[in-house]
Amino acid sequence: MAGFDNVNDQGHELDWDDEITKDSTEFSLLQPGKYPFKVKTWNRGQYNGGAKLPACKMCELEIIVWDPQTGDETLIKHRLYLHSKTEGLLSQFFVSIGLKKHGETLKMQWNKVTGATGICKVYIDEYTGNDGEKHKANKIKSFCDPEKADNTTMASQAPTAPAQPQANGFGGFESWN
């Protein structure tokens, strides 16, 4: 899959007697580092509260992170909490997708989030699942400021295949092949 080809593919419901041909795909675990991303979808949610943050609205993002070196795409689910304690993290996200500038007030424009691009810092989360087994998953540590994002420190360097998107100055992409 070359850089975000299937971002808008919502799929379709199958009927009980439909034929299927697609094999399962291997889970791709990205190494820690900076990667280009594109927001696939987002949904409104409600956080019930916990020890560090009281109940509040939350945005549940589905983010496709792309490794330019391998062409692998990984879907990472990420939550943004709509609370004054996390206002800096909300600002970081909106700055990373180019909708907010430092020092300026922003009315959050959720209608512009789907399809937005930027660069994020990914890490590997290790946890014990309900099955008692140890698992690993990619998570987003932070979103990078496009004006400060040093693309030379990205985990993977420039795309190697001509069909892959070309990075623009904001860490997003100018073309989608």
> Which of the four pLDDT bands, split at 50, 70 and 90, describes residue 170?
very low
Q: Does residue 173 form part of some domain? A: no
Domain count, the chain: 1
Q: pTM of the prediction? A: 0.73
Taking the C-alpha atoms of residue 109 and residue 118, their distance in angstroms, rounded to an integer, is 16
pLDDT, tens digit, 9 for 90 and up, residues 69-125: 888 899 999 999 999 999 999 999 999 999 999 889 999 999 999 999 999 999 999
Residue 122 sits in a domain whose CATH number is: 2.40.50
Q: Does residue 137 form part of some domain? A: yes
- Strands across the sheet with 56-66, in order? 73-82, 56-66, 33-47, 117-128, 134-143
Q: Does residue 105 form part of some domain? A: yes
Dihedral sign from CA coordinates of 171, 157, 62, 23: positive
Domain limits for position 146: 33-153
Q: Does residue 168 form part of some domain? A: no
Q: Does residue 86 form part of some domain? A: yes
Contact 146, 51 (CB under 8 A): no
- Check pLDDT > 90 for residue 35: yes
pLDDT, tens digit, 9 for 90 and up, residues 54-71: 999 999 999 999 998 888
Instruction: Report H helices in 20-175.
Output: 87-96
